[in-house]
């Protein structure tokens, strides 16, 4: 690639980003509270009636998504008998409980995304499972490991406090429960709180509206598989074109009289290539295949070798990178990124027949800036006469009126507005999620007031027997369920050892925590690439100002670090 070509692309990317920068950054969104509270009501379950509980369990797991179920499973395998899952939804599944929009599927290969496949004897029916298959797998896990036994659904933890004299957590909920637990594991998920755009006039709209994570099948008819017959005479607007919208558009296009897709930033849409699982392949799998396949995925995407054949388009950037020569690894990565994005822009021209629509659907930013998406139906949907792309040229929807949506001064009258506007990812971490968690001396939010303070992102000084699964001061991977499993294995390893050795509690020393915090500061991830990115939740809506403390290695290295630490240093956290 010529230097002039690289410069030209950099300038184009910068210009596109600048169009999208806004002074209010993450404050442009409104929380689904107060008048907007109905956006988060549960459309899937009847209200459960029960008396408040005042009992005690050994381990209390907050969150019944894949992370919580993995924590419960690994604890069960470590010998813990009394485990209570506390979950806001009406059943297990977490993000797969809430996200039942039409077309929902995992975008990571199901053979590595769905956890505990060998333990439960399940092989997914397709390479990319439908949401319903994943939700049912979550139920399968809960049944298999007897996690329904003490579970509390439609229950939200309102506060919790450590009782040093009893060495127990007291956990209070919005149902008046006051439960006690020796260990608490929080896995509240990064995508648990939907967000809405603060578009002027959003509360003036008189038609029907909902968020994709609470799909209103009562209004649309049908289910995740389609058949939304009540949309046959409806003009439907979809705001947002992220990973969710990519899956929603083809399904709604099939059933609505007309679909208007309001786009601020186009997604990069790669080939999907879904296929039913080959029964011969499924029958040939030998013990240990699942862990090997998950590890292989990480090896390939992190450029550490591995078998390329087993890895889908998520491994493409590494493959492009490998093909580049040159001494500067950052420049090599940038050129690989440019080549990949040029190929994706060329794909838009190949698929979309109308040149102006094709132009508007082309993503002009680096591949690493936004969640890549995959579909063999999304771009194709814009070739239909009943689907219209309303590009806002990077500025977003101008206004919402009683009757519809205004862009560029033109009002588009619609019967229904669906918000595919994503989630408040900051709300995922327990320290910032608004639930008071009082440790020995202070709350977790106070403890983390100037940034996360933890050992391995999982435990903190002053918060005995408390474990927070998820993102922060640890390694992440796009295959998030794998990351959660490694964390759950670690936590169960700690609890198992604490019980075996008769320890009263597990808590990192101040020194160990400080050493980990210092290491995260030292290894702080460079922000240059992300700061130059088009805004989004990856870069705090374009307002990244300082390096992000974090673990510099990859998820494979992190799992190995945890494993070795359990062998050599585990005794340091037992008291
Ligand atoms: P995103 O946050 O990725 O997308 C939100 C969309 O709303 C963006 O296109 C955004 O535009 C748009 N938007 C926000 N405000 C406005 C506005 N004022 N006017 C017009 N458009 C607006 O949310 P998603 O729900 O799509 O995805 C969230 C995450 O969920 C993904 O990143 C992925 O990690 C996960 N996911 C995973 C799936 C899986 O299969 N595993 C499937 C679906 C989602 P802009 O880009 O300009 O901000």
The pLDDT of residue 210 is: 96
Cα 535 from chain centre: 17
CB 63 within 8 A of CB 189: yes
Alpha-carbon span 396 to 262, nearest angstrom: 8
Cα 67 from chain centre: 11
Give residue ranges with CB within 6 A of ligand 1.
Answer: 20, 105-108, 191, 197, 199, 239-245, 262, 264-265, 371, 392, 396-397, 420-423, 536-537
The pLDDT of residue 33 is: 85
The CA-based angle 447-74-559, given to 5 degrees, is: 65
The pLDDT of residue 427 is: 61
At 317, the pLDDT band (50, 70, 90 cuts) reads confident
What whole-number percentage of the chain has pLDDT above 90? Answer: 81
- The average pLDDT across 425-451 equals 86
The residue nearest atom 13 of ligand 1, judged by CA position, is: 240
Which of 137, 244, 420 gets mutated to test ligand 1 (max ligand atoms within 8 A of its CB)? 244
Give me the CATH code for the 196-272+329-419 domain, please: 3.50.50.60
Is the pLDDT assigned to residue 428 strictly greater than 70? no
At 371, the pLDDT band (50, 70, 90 cuts) reads very high
Pick the CATH number of 56-193+425-508 from 1.20.210.10, 3.40.50.1220, 3.50.50.60, 1.20.120.420: 3.50.50.60
Q: Pick the atom of ligand 1 nearest to 245's CA.
A: 26
Is the pLDDT assigned to residue 289 strictly greater than 80? yes
Looking at per-residue pLDDT, the higher value among 189 and 219 belongs to: 219
Distances (CA, A) of 533 to 18, 84, 544: 10, 42, 10
Q: Where are the domains of the chain?
A: 56-193+425-508, 196-272+329-419
The pLDDT of residue 476 is: 85
CB 337 within 8 A of CB 317: yes
The residue nearest atom 46 of ligand 1, judged by CA position, is: 265
Which of 113, 421, 425, 479 gets mutated to test ligand 1 (max ligand atoms within 8 A of its CB)? 421
Is the pLDDT assigned to residue 219 strictly greater than 70? yes
Q: Pick the atom of ligand 1 nearest to 422's CA.
A: 23
Answer whether 56-193+425-508 and 196-272+329-419 agree in fold: yes
At 9, the pLDDT band (50, 70, 90 cuts) reads very high
- Half-sphere exposure (CA, 13 Å, Cβ side) for 146? 8
DSSP classification of residue 383 = T
């Amino acid at each position: 690639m010529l230097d002039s070509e690289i410069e030209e692309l950099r300038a184009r990317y910068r210009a596109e980003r600048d169009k999208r920068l806004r002074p209010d950054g993450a404050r442009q969104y409104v929380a689904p509270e107060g008048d907007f509270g109905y956006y988060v009501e549960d459309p899937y379950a009847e209200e459960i009636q029960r008396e408040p509980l005042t009992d005690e369990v050994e381990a209390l797991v907050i969150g019944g998504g894949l992370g919580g179920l993995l924590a419960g499973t690994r604890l069960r395998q470590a010998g813990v008998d009394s485990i209570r899952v506390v979950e806001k939804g009406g059943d297990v599944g977490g993000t797969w409980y809430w996200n039942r929009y039409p077309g929902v599927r995992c975008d990571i290969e199901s053979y590595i995304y769905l956890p505990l496949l060998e333990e439960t004897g399940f092989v997914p029916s397709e390479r990319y499972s439908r949401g319903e298959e994943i939700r049912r797998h979550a139920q399968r896990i809960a049944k298999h490991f007897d996690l329904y036994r003490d579970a509390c659904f439609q229950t939200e933890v309102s506060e919790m406090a450590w009782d040093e004299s009893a060495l127990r957590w007291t956990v209070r909920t919005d149902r008046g429960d006051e439960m006690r637990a020796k260990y608490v594991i929080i896995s509240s998920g990064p995508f648990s709180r939907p967000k809405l755009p603060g578009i002027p006039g959003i509360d003036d709209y008189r038609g029907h509206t909902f968020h994709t994570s609470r799909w209103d099948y009562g209004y649309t008819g049908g289910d995740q598989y389609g058949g939304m017959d009540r949309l046959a005479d409806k003009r439907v607007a979809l705001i947002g074109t992220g990973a969710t919208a990519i899956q929603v558009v083809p399904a709604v296009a099939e059933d609505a009289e007309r679909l208007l897709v309001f786009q601020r930033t186009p997604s990069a849409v790669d080939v999907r290539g879904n296929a039913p699982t080959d029964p011969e392949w499924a029958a040939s799998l030998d013990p240990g295949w699942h862990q090997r396949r998950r590890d292989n995925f990480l090896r390939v995407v992190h450029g550490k070798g591995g078998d390329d054949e087993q890895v889908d388009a998520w491994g493409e950037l590494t493959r492009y990178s490998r093909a580049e020569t040159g001494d500067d690894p950052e420049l090599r990565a940038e050129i690989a990124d440019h080549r990949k994005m040029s190929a994706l822009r060329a794909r838009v021209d190949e698929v979309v027949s109308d040149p102006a629509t094709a132009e508007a659907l082309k993503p002009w930013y680096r591949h690493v800036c936004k969640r890549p998406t995959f579909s063999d139906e999304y771009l194709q949907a814009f070739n239909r006469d009943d689907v219209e792309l309303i590009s806002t040229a990077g500025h977003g929807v101008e206004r919402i009126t009683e009757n519809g949506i205004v862009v560029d001064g033109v009002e588009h009258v619609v019967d229904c507005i669906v918000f595919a506007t994503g989630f408040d990812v900051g709300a995922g971490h327990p320290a910032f999620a608004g639930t008071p968690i009082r440790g020995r001396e202070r709350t977790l939010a106070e403890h983390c007031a100037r940034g996360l303070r933890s050992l391995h992102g999982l435990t903190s000084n002053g918060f005995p027997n408390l474990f927070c699964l998820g993102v922060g001061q640890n390694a992440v991977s796009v295959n998030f369920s794998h990351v959660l499993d490694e964390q759950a294995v670690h936590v169960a390893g700690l609890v198992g050892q604490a019980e075996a050795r008769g320890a009263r509690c597990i808590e990192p020393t101040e020194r160990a925590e400080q050493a980990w915090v210092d290491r995260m500061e030292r290894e702080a991830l460079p922000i240059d690439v992300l700061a130059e990115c088009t805004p989004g939740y990856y870069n705090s809506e374009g307002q990244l100002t300082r390096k992000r403390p974090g673990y510099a290695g990859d998820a494979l290295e992190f799992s190995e670090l945890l494993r070795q630490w359990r062998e050599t240093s585990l005794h340091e956290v037992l008291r």
